[in-house]
Structure 1
Amino acid sequence: MSWKPEIDHLRAREALAEKMGGDERVSRQKSQGKLTARDRVDALLDPGSFHEIGKIAGVADYAADGSLASFTPSNMITGRGRIEGRPVGVIADDFTVRGGAADAAIWQKMVQAEKFAGEYRMPLIRMVDGTGGGGSVKMLEKDPRTYIPETPGWEVVVANLGQIPVVSLALGPCAGLGAGRVAASHYSVMVKGLSQVFVAGPPVARAIGEDIDKEGLGGWEIQARNGVVDDAVDSELEAMAMARRFLSYVPGSVDDLPARLPSRDPIDRKEEFLVSIVPRDRVTPYKSRRIVEACVDAGSFFEMGKAWGRSIITGFARLDGWPVAIMAGDPYVLDGAWTADAARKVERFVDLANTFHLPIVHFVDCPGFAVGRKHEQAGVTRAGIRAMSAIYQARVPFCAVVMRKAYGLAGSAMFNPSRAKARFCWPSGDWGSLPMDGGVEAAFRRELESHPDPATRLAEIKAWMEGLRSPFRTAESFYAEEIIDPRDTRPLLCEWAGLARRVLQTGPVSTHMRP
C-alpha cells in the first residue's frame, strides 16, 4: 500500500501556498514596484538553498465531504538557506495576504523561526512588509472581545540580539509589531520611497490631529536620520546586497570569531597624502573617511548609520583580511563634537562590535561633547556617559589613532585607558582637558588689563602656550605612547589587528547590544 495519494495532496497544498494571496494581489504587489515574498527569498539566498518550514500552514475551508475547498496560506514565509555558503534563517512577510497583518501570519511560525536561528546559531534575516500584531478592527467581528496585549516570543527576539546577527530589511509599510521587528536588530535597511516605519499609520495619526501621509510619518528621511534604521537604499536588491555585506564581517554567532578573508592589499602600503591631510590651522575640516579608506584594506570599508549622529563615522572594514569595527570623528560636522545622537550611535556600535568580537579602531578627532542649550535639552550628558560606559565595558581590543583633537570627557573616551594602551598619535595631535583657543583672554584677563601693551602681551602668552601644546612634550612624559608618521598608520594597524586576534574570546558578553 502506497502513501502516494497523501504525497499528491501535499504537493497540491504546496502549490496553493505558492499562489500567496492570489493572482490579483500578487499583480498589485508587483505594480507597486515591489517583489513578492517568495521573489525576495530567492533574491537574497544562494540559488537553490532555501528550505521552507511551515509552507502549508494557513487557513483552510472544507467541503461537506471533508475535502479541501480553499486554502489561504500564512502570510509569513519562514525557513533557512545559505548566503555565500553560510547557513542563515529567513523570515519574509507576504503583503499579498491581508497586508502582512501579524494575526494572519500564525505567530508560532515567527517564534519558531527566531528560536531555530538562535538555537542553531545562524544569522537571521527578516524581510518586513506588514502591519501590527493585533490585526485590524475588523477582527472584532470574528472574535468579539478585546484583549490585554502580549507579544508572544519577544523574549526570543531579545535573546537573539546577544547570540546571533539579526538583520531587518524594511520592504514596505512597517507598523506596530512590524516596526518593532525592524528596530530589534543589529542592522536595518529601508528602501527609499518604498518602505515606511511607524508605530501606527496615518489613519491613527489623523485621529490625534495630524494629517500626514505614510512617507511624511515614517519615511527614510525621518527614520534613517534619527537612527531608527541604519541605512536607506534605492532598491530591494540593494538592501539585500547590504545585508549580505554586513553579514560578511560578523561571525555566525557569538560562539565563533569573525572570519579572515584573503587580502591582496599590501600591508606596507603607505599613502603619501596622509602626511598633509590634516590642516595646520586646527579649524579647517578634512575628510576623515578618506583617511579610513587609505588605512584599511582597499574597498573594505562598509559604513553604517551615515545619516544620523553624523559627527562620528561608524562601520566595518578589514586590515590584512582581519575584520574590524571602525569609528572616526568627522570634523565636517560640529568639528567632530559628540552630540546626544552621536553618543547614542557610539554606544550602540561599540555594543555591536563587542557582541560579535570585532576589535575596534578609533580614528580620533573629538573636541568633546557638543556645547549649548540645544544639546543640553537633547540630553547630551547622559547619552555621552552611556557611550563612555559602553567603551569601558567592552572587552574587545581598542586601537586609537589620534589624528587631531582629543578634549574633555568625550575626547578621553577613545578607549578604556585602564587597559594596555594601543595608540598611535599623529604630529597634528591636539589634546587637553579643555581647548586652549578662546580661553586665553579669560585666563589672563587681569594681567592683560593692567599691561601697558595688552596686544603684545597676549601674543607672547599665545606663543608660549603654543609651545606647550606640542605633542612631543606629551610624548616626553609618555602620556602619548607613540608619535608616528601618518603614512605608517596602515602597516601599524595591520600588525595590531593580528595581535588583537590573539586575545579575542568567543561566547556571549555581559553587555551585548540592545536595539
Structure 2
Amino acid sequence: MSHVWSDEIDEISRRKQLAELLGGEDKIRRQHEAGRSTVRERITDLLDADSFEEIGGMAGFATYAEDGSTVAVMPANFLFGLGEIDGRRVALGADDFTIRGGAADASIMAKQVDSERLAGALRVPLVRLVEGTGGGGSVRMIEDAGYTYVPANPGWDALVDNLSLVPVVAACMGPVAGLGAGRVAMSHFSVLIEGISQMFVAGPPVVKHATGENLTKEELGGADVHRRSGAIDRIVPDEKAALQAVRDFLSYLPSSVHGLPPVVEAVAPATGAEGLADVVPRNRRQPYRLRTILDAIFDGGSNFEYAGYGASVYTGLARLDGHPVGVVATDPYKGATMTPNGADALTRLIDLCETFHLPIVSLTDQAGMMIGLQAEKSASIRRGARAVVAAYQARVPMAEIIVRRVFGVGGAGQINRHRFNRQWAWPSGDWGSLPVEGGVEAAYRADLEASDDPEALMADIHQRLEAARSPFRTAERYGVADLIDPRRSREVLTRWVRDAYRVIPEQVGPPSFGTRP
C-alpha cells in the first residue's frame, strides 16, 4: 500500500541498513582477524537484550548521483545512544574502528560531544568503548581543509562536568591514541585488554620521529606498560572480561551524584570467620593473605579490585550486608609501605567514594610511606600527602579495623583521624611513630656502648618495649577505641554500615570538591 511519504520512509530504512554495514565486509573481517569484535557486536554483548536506542544513526558521509539520489553512505565512525545494564539506564558512546581506524576524519564530532551531554542531562552513567584516535585525524586533513587551527578538545567541558556528576567508565577495546587516550583517562574506571588493547599519547610512528624510539604498539602502550603506570585501573584477558568489568563496576554506584548507591540483598561471606583468628602471624615480618580477610568480612562474590596499580595498597569496592562500600587495605605479599603509586590509588578510591557517597572501610596495616632514593625521586611524600588530604576532605562515613601496623604519616592519614569514625583493632595491632625494630640501637646507643653485656641489655630493652607496645596498654588509655576478636569483624562492620547509610542521604549531591581524573 502506497502512502504520501512512502519513498522517504523507505529511504529511512535503507539508510539504517547502510549504517549496519559499518566499514564494509573487508574491514569487518580484518577486525575479527585481529581478535576484536565490531562496535555493534560489543554493544549487543554489553547491554541488556534489545535495549539499545541509537541516536544519530543516519549521520555520515553520503555520495549523490546527478539526479540527487543517494549512491552510498559511509556512516560516521562513532555510535551513541541509551540502553540498559541489569535493568538500569545508561548512556553509551563507542568508536567504530572499521571506518578510518576510529579517526576524526571519518567522524562527526557533534555525536561524541552529545554522548557526554546525554549522560549529564539525563543523569545516567556513561560507558565509553574507545578504539582509535578519536582526535584530529590525519595530517592530510590540513591539506584537504586548506588551513589549520588552534586545538580545543571538543566537548571537554562536558567531560569535566560529568566526572562530578555521573559514573564514567572507559574501556580500551583496541589501539587508543591521542584524544582517545584522553577520553580513557577522563573516567572513574578504565579497562585495558591484554594483548588486544594499547594506549598511548602518540603512536609508534610519531614517537619514532620525535624521540628516536622504535617501538611496537604493544611495547609502547600494552598491558605490561600500564600494569603499574597508573593510567589504567584494570587489565583483563579478553573482551568478555572487559565488558563484565564495566557491568560489575557500575553495579556499586548510583546513576548520578543525586542518588544513593544501590543496596541489594545481603549474601553470606565466601568463607567463615573462624580463620580470622589465625590469619595474622605473631611474627611481624611474616605476611598474610589479604584475600582471606576480604572473603570472610564482605558479601560473597562482591570483592572488586579497583586501582590495580597500587602495589601494596589494595583499593576495592565490596558489599557489606548488601551495602556498597569502598575498601582500603594492605597486601603484605606486595609490601608494607605506601608507595607513590599506592598513594595515587588511595586518592583515586577516596575521591570516587566521596563523589558517589560510598562509605569507606579501612583494614589498616600501614607501615608508613615508602622510603629510599627511588621513593624520593618519585615524590613519595607529596603523593602520600595528597592521599591524606583526600581522606580529610571526604565527608563520607569511614570505619577502621586495625589489622596490624599503623606507622608514620602514611598510617596516620589512611583515614581522617581528626573526626569521629568507628574504630576497632585486632590483638595483632602494632603502632607508633615508627617501628620499634628500626630505632632501638639509635635510641639506646649510649647505654649499649657502656654496657658490659650489650646483647643481654638489648634483649632486656626489647622485652620492656614489647610490654609497652601491647595494644592493651593503648586501649587502657583510649588510644584505640576497642579491641575485638577478629572473628567479630563482619558483625561490627555490619552494624556500622547500616548507621552509615542513615547518614549519607544528607550528603547526596555534588562532591565537596570537583572530581579530577
Bin for the TM-score computed over the shorter chain:
over 0.9
Alignment of 1:335-354 (within 5 A): 335=336, 337-354=337-354
Q: Deviations over 1:383-409 (max 9, x none)?
A: 010000000000101111100000011
Residue 334 of structure 2 aligns with an amino acid whose one-letter code is V
Contact 2:406–2:430 (8 Å) recurs in 1 = yes
Counterparts of 1:445 and 1:230, CA distance in 2: 47
> 1:222 is paired with a residue of what secondary structure?
helix
1:370 to 1:402, Cα distance in 2 relative to 1, 3 A: same
Task: Determine the structure 1 residue equivalent to 2:427.
Answer: 427
Task: Determine the structure 1 residue equivalent to 2:212.
Answer: 209
Q: Deviations over 1:145-184 (max 9, x none)?
A: 2221111100100110000000101001000011111111
> 1:91 is paired with a residue of what secondary structure?
strand
Shift of 1:513: 3.0
Task: Determine the structure 1 residue equivalent to 2:290.
Answer: 288
Shift of 1:444: 0.8
Task: Determine the structure 2 residue equivalent to 1:514.
Answer: 516
Task: Determine the structure 2 residue equivalent to 1:384.
Answer: 384
Alignment of 1:285-324 (within 5 A): 285-306=287-308, 308-324=309-325
Counterparts of 1:27 and 1:234, CA distance in 2: 22
Task: Determine the structure 1 residue equivalent to 2:489.
Answer: 489
Structure 1 vs Structure 2 CA RMSD: 1.3
Are 1:249 and 2:249 an aligned pair? Answer: no
TM-score normalised according to structure 1 size: 0.98
TM-score normalised according to structure 2 size: 0.97
Task: Determine the structure 1 residue equivalent to 2:60.
Answer: 58
Residue segments in structure 2 that go unaligned for 5+ positions in a row: none
Are 1:438 and 2:438 an aligned pair? Answer: yes
> 1:390 is paired with a residue of what secondary structure?
helix
Shift of 1:140: 2.5
Counterparts of 1:276 and 1:155, CA distance in 2: 52
Q: Deviations over 1:54-87 (max 9, x none)?
A: 0000111211111112211000011010001100
Residue 314 of structure 2 aligns with an amino acid whose one-letter code is I
Alignment of 1:359-508 (within 5 A): 359-504=359-504, 505-508=507-510
Residue segments in structure 1 that go unaligned for 5+ positions in a row: none
Judge which range, 191-200 or 133-142, deviates more.
133-142
Contact 1:125–1:166 (8 Å) recurs in 2 = yes
Of 87, 90, 103, the match for 1:88 = 90
Residue 255 of structure 2 aligns with an amino acid whose one-letter code is G
Counterparts of 1:421 and 1:97, CA distance in 2: 54
Q: Deviations over 1:276-310 (max 9, x none)?
A: 1111121101111221121001111111223x121
Counterparts of 2:335 and 2:312, CA distance in 1: 7
Shift of 1:91: 0.7
Contact 2:312–2:335 (8 Å) recurs in 1 = yes
Counterparts of 1:27 and 1:459, CA distance in 2: 73
Counterparts of 1:381 and 1:116, CA distance in 2: 40
Task: Determine the structure 1 residue equivalent to 2:120.
Answer: 118
Counterparts of 1:87 and 1:512, CA distance in 2: 24
Shift of 1:483: 0.2
Counterparts of 1:313 and 1:62, CA distance in 2: 58
Counterparts of 2:32 and 2:452, CA distance in 1: 81
Shift of 1:270: 5.2
Shift of 1:450: 1.0
Shift of 1:266: 7.5
Of 205, 230, 239, the match for 2:233 = 230
Contact 1:102–1:130 (8 Å) recurs in 2 = no
Q: Deviations over 1:175-229 (max 9, x none)?
A: 0011111111111111111110000101011112001100000001111321111
Shift of 1:512: 4.2
> 2:438 is paired with a residue of what secondary structure?
coil
Task: Determine the structure 2 residue equivalent to 1:326.
Answer: 327
> 1:129 is paired with a residue of what secondary structure?
strand
Task: Determine the structure 1 residue equivalent to 2:42.
Answer: 40
